[in-house]
Structure 1
């Protein structure tokens, strides 16, 4: 097989939309020179009559526009407003390349383009040859007949595609914010968030993404492969190999040999060989085998992420073509829907038969200009999720299917994926055959592409579309039928069954129960229950007991706003003066509706928000977000039926005050550390009850732990009463509870439990109602600072209880093993400060008791 990489430097220019592919020669004849688009700050753009830009493909057109000084970086200041005109032009990419006589001797020469956003005309040697309208499927066609020896020219004309849809919005229902600029997005198979959402500004995308190359071969090649785990027994595993092969000559059969081997740590553990008679086009082969003493793949914290390598090759007509080496895992995954005594059902993920609590967050695209994300960003974000104790990401359906590197990193780090197909918050035109054709292609391609990754835990049909039928629309404006059912209830489950049958499928998220978002059955997006349901809703601004009242099994969406670190705020102001409440400040998520929620929560729980300066607001906003994430997680984990807590949302596509714990610039927010502690693999949770407390003991690790748990009542000044201890054998992958009796004034202290020697951090019964308590003034100090390689080991202590203490250097992007933590009187806390030479200073966040203003009344918000 011969491969010609077409990535690299291309020429690029814009034209009006009426300049179609038939005018390619006219566009190509325009001379080089400075390229200009006249637009200023108006919505209209006028391309120059001459001139091309240089563009490094793959890229979105935004990248060369920024590099050539046509526009400013769109995600800083208020620049998103100044790039909307990009959608109203056609964008022409030109590439010259050389083809050898030797390559032309092969049976087929396919042009492969992994991602085209969006409406693409493919023109080869000035002959229009194809059109492509799906960013979620690759373009792959035999183009041999269009090629010639020597210099060839490939032209790709791209548009947003939206020009074909006005005003086709008859079935377009969409519940979002004023940010959304185009309900016709439902007709276009491209990332839906690019037209704006309630947490991001619209940034029109248009470009060539990921791999682009010519591939020439003769005979046959493997186009799809995977290894399924059928079952596990006595340390052994039955696995099944699947291969899909493509033979070039359509009118004749041919002998072929398929060879494959499975390696672990570079050593073969199984070798297979099949002699096949292939027909033209698609062929299939499979084999079941038993692996002795299989090395299992486990989620993060539950065991090792053992990965095998699957090598395969096909020899046909004297040509051997190697398949891409794939890392695969031996593991089973299922959803346990078993019934409870009250008639409701569980919703547990079981991996290798073990119940897994799914801790994590919703993944959205890493950049509003998503095609420019480097592999390093995916690695950083996945590794940060692992560091925070995540076992699952939910791939939100308004984004995109990520590149292969992302799924590889998730598999290496043990992070399961609850993966939406890319449909969200709208009703899709399943009455159009052309749309159903693209939906079928997409489902088939993506389920095949991702089937071999051990991180894949469940496919879900879409984001919130089933829920919308029962929860969103009053009768007069409800749609006349469920638009999209042909896709979500027929096409997608069929594709999953055919291509990844060991991965469960759900028609939507949320789903299960008498209605799609039923709180006590299945997967829940908790916005409804904490906002409207009278049995579970907040009685005042983020009433913490509401989390305990909510009988959810698995919450895959709920979140809290939190501000960013000061370095991020400075960064998106890009040299402009930071004005709290200014135009740039508000543009990046600090608008009044959001601030009302943040300020009300700070005022109810922490301190008088009206007295805070900008730095104080950033600090207390982050602490408040962290406290609420911690409370939500602990409420879910301490319930015997609790199965998952995925925050909305984990990462950002642009810099804004929002729900995330990692911001757009990959900086940890204050809340990151609260969530990290809440997701500890060995965890104690203490809840006060009448006459004492109940302690939840969680051990998710693969080792049984012998723990002497000390418990009792402690005053804020350190005096202890009613103390006791209990020695427990805490099995691997276990959850258990015990009660203890005790007395104490919870205005002056708390119940606690601790087993530091066994890896369980001290926990207490104090909820985050810090304004209800008058904490004694504590003396906090740094006891020691020691170097450990490139890190510092900092030990701190306090003589009284401190609800939030934190270490700080001049750089708020420094990573800590823990930060924004509690300090207990007489207990030392040692923190690793990573890659840092500057000794940090320890501070406390003072909690101001007293009367709360009217801002602590809960303002119901709809997101």
Structure 2
């Protein structure tokens, strides 16, 4: 009677959608290509040999047309007689990028318009035993965004990205950024499966540390179920520690009408989860089993850590604090800002996350900020952060633009936010929710668009805080970063700052020493990728003709880099010298600020440099380049973040 799952990832087929198609049989015209889901249209085309990956990476501007075309994916599958006997069968997409239509056996199931949402469809009456055909058609996100922008108005004047991105709920950096080209793409970027239920299932588990110390911990366990029967149900709970020893048990009762229940269990001598550098990261495991009588209906296993977290914003003699406390202990943050591991969302696999996050831990990094122009990360990312003790500051996915003040947009945002809060809230590494990246600040200084009205303000100051309070009250929420008080949202005596006077403002590197902000959430310095990464990108024959400007997406970014190099060294004579000197200057600049801030840790509570990783080949602020090679900054970071 337990829930059954049929994984539909893996082998699919795809092709360009024939614009002349009027009926299902018209789709058979033309050749279908093989692909592996989850993925991205660009990766699928490269793997199928239609485009060359090296040309895509070295000349991305030549491949934008792919993002303007419709594409269709197909999966055929059979079901066993036992699977068909389930009372309810659902088709589940964990992530579709972005505007899609889904058909099963010729019937339209629905449409999607938000990359960050999962979608469920009841297919009990549609699915059959043999020759099921699942189709997913994607329309151009760029064109759909442009249609909406033409109707409702432009909300962004960012020179590095397409302005229609504000209307499209997908990774904003795919529309271009100052470290990425314009390649929006599409695809089935997360898992796909069928779920079969009899009688009911466990739909949600929420685990919260109510209180803890070395002697005992009170842990609240909330379990929500779905029922297709009026019979009462029982959910047995068993908590085991990292060694497998049972630490607590409880039983939840569900009457014929109730679908929610909770219990607080007491765990003696708990092993507390601590951030990296402050202790170990033991993980407990909850096993929940839902029964009707003696029959197992569903079971869920959920890892969690026992810890409390608080954001200290109490006024003090220096202004207003902004510091993280875990288990009652103040934590000095040594962090970096994280962007998607690949511009082709869905491409990065578990081993890539393992490599990057292990490198972060080895560099003594204890916090990563998941930046708001990318994605809510995958389960592999958060599971690794739990295991490695890397704290996560989680932005909601809004960055550097106004967003629509429209009811339909708000409803999509509510669904997106609620789903991701629920999905991520059991991770002990997650310590803060942040409404957006730089929008409040840019609005206050008139840099978003030609408007005095703050479009989208209610998202960050009303909708999101209400959802966090309702669904994840154990964590703090801030509306934006930088975060200040009053009209000056980037003021050093309170909240967070983004320090871009050095680099973007051409101020000398020593200018970092002129202030001690309470918390630095962003600052950084560009450099070239490593020499071998450049060689792999364009080949040894063309290295002399490598275009710095072409792969630097920030306006005058190369000019800034040359300016700062020339302030310290003689001008580089060739590309190899440029690589070396750019990385040394980057490392020295970031080190100067971090060491200055750490020396003033009575005032400053933490610092995160921009940025940890790359998502594509480019000149950027990263410490690890797109080829996975560590720049000089990485080795500087390992030293300037070392324990003292």
What is the TM-score of this pair, normalised by structure 1?
Answer: 0.71
Cα separation, 2, equivalents of 1:318 and 1:51 = 52
Q: How does 1:354-365 map to 2 (within 5 A)?
A: 354-365=329-340
Q: Counterpart of 2:222 in 1: which secondary structure?
A: strand
**Shift of residue 234, structure 1, vs aligned partner:** 5.1
Conserved in 2, the CA contact under 8 Å of 1:117 and 1:160? Answer: no
Q: 1:592 to 1:134 in 2, by over 3 A?
A: closer
Post-superposition CA distance 1:53-91 (Å, at most 9, x none): 111222212222112221111675533112111122211
Q: Which residue of 2 aligns with 1:448?
A: 422
Greater radius of gyration (CA): 1
Cα separation, 2, equivalents of 1:266 and 1:409 = 20
**Which among 327, 332, 338 is matched to residue 314 of structure 2?**
338
Q: Counterpart of 2:398 in 1: which secondary structure?
A: coil
Conserved in 2, the CA contact under 8 Å of 1:171 and 1:427? Answer: no
**Which among 493, 496, 510 is matched to residue 465 of structure 2?**
493
Q: How does 1:123-138 map to 2 (within 5 A)?
A: 123-138=103-118
Post-superposition CA distance 1:74-113 (Å, at most 9, x none): 6755331121111222111111111233222211101011
Q: 1:278 to 1:193 in 2, by over 3 A?
A: farther
Q: Which residue of 1 aligns with 2:434?
A: 460
Cα separation, 1, equivalents of 2:199 and 2:538 = 57
Conserved in 1, the CA contact under 8 Å of 2:234 and 2:252? Answer: yes
Q: Which structure shows the bigger proportion of residues in strand conformation?
A: 1
Q: Which residue of 2 aligns with 1:651?
A: 613
Q: How does 1:295-334 map to 2 (within 5 A)?
A: 295-316=271-292, 319-334=295-310
2:25 is equivalent to residue 13 of structure 1: no
- Tell me: higher relative CO, structure 1 or 2? Use CA pairs within 8 A at least 6 residues apart: 2
**Which among 240, 243, 260 is matched to residue 263 of structure 1?**
240
Conserved in 2, the CA contact under 8 Å of 1:565 and 1:618? Answer: yes
Cα separation, 2, equivalents of 1:203 and 1:75 = 14
Conserved in 1, the CA contact under 8 Å of 2:56 and 2:63? Answer: no
**Shift of residue 672, structure 1, vs aligned partner:** 0.8
Q: Which residue of 2 aligns with 1:553?
A: 518
**Shift of residue 378, structure 1, vs aligned partner:** 0.6
Conserved in 2, the CA contact under 8 Å of 1:360 and 1:647? Answer: yes
Q: 1:389 to 1:17 in 2, by over 3 A?
A: farther
Q: Counterpart of 1:146 in 2: which secondary structure?
A: coil
Cα separation, 2, equivalents of 1:596 and 1:487 = 37
Conserved in 1, the CA contact under 8 Å of 2:96 and 2:190? Answer: no
**Which among 604, 610, 614 is matched to residue 642 of structure 1?**
604
Conserved in 2, the CA contact under 8 Å of 1:236 and 1:291? Answer: yes
Cα separation, 2, equivalents of 1:174 and 1:526 = 22
Q: Which residue of 2 aligns with 1:113?
A: 93
Q: How does 1:201-220 map to 2 (within 5 A)?
A: 201-220=181-200
RMSD between aligned alpha carbons? 2.1
Q: Which residue of 2 aligns with 1:369?
A: 344
Q: Counterpart of 1:570 in 2: which secondary structure?
A: helix
Cα separation, 1, equivalents of 2:176 and 2:71 = 21
Q: 1:236 to 1:663 in 2, by over 3 A?
A: same
**Shift of residue 620, structure 1, vs aligned partner:** 1.7
Q: Counterpart of 1:608 in 2: which secondary structure?
A: coil
Q: Which residue of 1 aligns with 2:4?
A: 2
Q: Counterpart of 1:445 in 2: which secondary structure?
A: helix
Post-superposition CA distance 1:379-426 (Å, at most 9, x none): 111111100111100110010011101100001111111100111111
**Shift of residue 483, structure 1, vs aligned partner:** 1.4
Q: 1:438 to 1:317 in 2, by over 3 A?
A: farther
Cα separation, 2, equivalents of 1:531 and 1:619 = 21
**Shift of residue 287, structure 1, vs aligned partner:** 1.2
**Shift of residue 323, structure 1, vs aligned partner:** 3.9
Cα separation, 2, equivalents of 1:66 and 1:256 = 50
**Which among 161, 167, 173 is matched to residue 155 of structure 2?**
173
Q: 1:242 to 1:172 in 2, by over 3 A?
A: farther
Cα separation, 1, equivalents of 2:444 and 2:379 = 36
Q: Which residue of 2 aligns with 1:600?
A: 563
Cα separation, 1, equivalents of 2:249 and 2:111 = 42
2:328 is equivalent to residue 353 of structure 1: yes
Cα separation, 2, equivalents of 1:623 and 1:321 = 60
Q: Counterpart of 1:368 in 2: which secondary structure?
A: coil
Gaps of 5+ in 2: none
Cα separation, 2, equivalents of 1:172 and 1:338 = 39
Which stretch has the larger CA shift, 403-412 or 565-574?
565-574
Q: Counterpart of 2:50 in 1: which secondary structure?
A: coil
Cα separation, 1, equivalents of 2:380 and 2:421 = 16
Q: Which residue of 2 aligns with 1:290?
A: 266
Cα separation, 1, equivalents of 2:113 and 2:408 = 10
Q: Which residue of 2 aligns with 1:855?
A: none
Conserved in 1, the CA contact under 8 Å of 2:399 and 2:437? Answer: yes
Conserved in 2, the CA contact under 8 Å of 1:602 and 1:620? Answer: yes
2:607 is equivalent to residue 630 of structure 1: no
2:389 is equivalent to residue 427 of structure 1: no
Post-superposition CA distance 1:610-635 (Å, at most 9, x none): 5x333222212111111111111111
Conserved in 2, the CA contact under 8 Å of 1:443 and 1:492? Answer: yes
**Shift of residue 159, structure 1, vs aligned partner:** 1.6
Q: Which residue of 2 aligns with 1:379?
A: 354
Q: 1:98 to 1:427 in 2, by over 3 A?
A: same
Cα separation, 1, equivalents of 2:628 and 2:447 = 37
Q: 1:72 to 1:150 in 2, by over 3 A?
A: same
Q: How does 1:573-584 map to 2 (within 5 A)?
A: 573-579=538-544, 582-583=546-547
Post-superposition CA distance 1:107-164 (Å, at most 9, x none): 1101011110111111010111211111111111211111123221111111233333
**Shift of residue 600, structure 1, vs aligned partner:** 2.3
Q: How does 1:747-826 map to 2 (within 5 A)?
A: none
2:170 is equivalent to residue 190 of structure 1: yes
**Shift of residue 472, structure 1, vs aligned partner:** 3.3
Cα separation, 2, equivalents of 1:417 and 1:248 = 38
Q: Which residue of 1 aligns with 2:70?
A: 90
Kindly report structure 1 stretches of 4+ aligned residues shifted beyond 6 Å.
529-532
Conserved in 2, the CA contact under 8 Å of 1:75 and 1:655? Answer: no
Post-superposition CA distance 1:771-804 (Å, at most 9, x none): xxxxxxxxxxxxxxxxxxxxxxxxxxxxxxxxxx
2:635 is equivalent to residue 673 of structure 1: yes
Post-superposition CA distance 1:9-36 (Å, at most 9, x none): 22211125575xx633311x32xxxxxx
**Shift of residue 317, structure 1, vs aligned partner:** 7.0
Q: Which structure shows the bigger proportion of residues in helix conformation?
A: 2
Q: Which residue of 2 aligns with 1:775?
A: none
2:251 is equivalent to residue 276 of structure 1: no
Q: How does 1:126-165 map to 2 (within 5 A)?
A: 126-165=106-145
Cα separation, 2, equivalents of 1:590 and 1:493 = 34
Q: 1:531 to 1:86 in 2, by over 3 A?
A: closer
**Which among 454, 457, 478 is matched to residue 482 of structure 1?**
454
User: Number of paired residues?
Assistant: 637
Cα separation, 2, equivalents of 1:659 and 1:235 = 45
Q: 1:176 to 1:529 in 2, by over 3 A?
A: same
What is the TM-score of this pair, normalised by structure 2?
Answer: 0.94
Q: Which residue of 2 aligns with 1:71?
A: 51
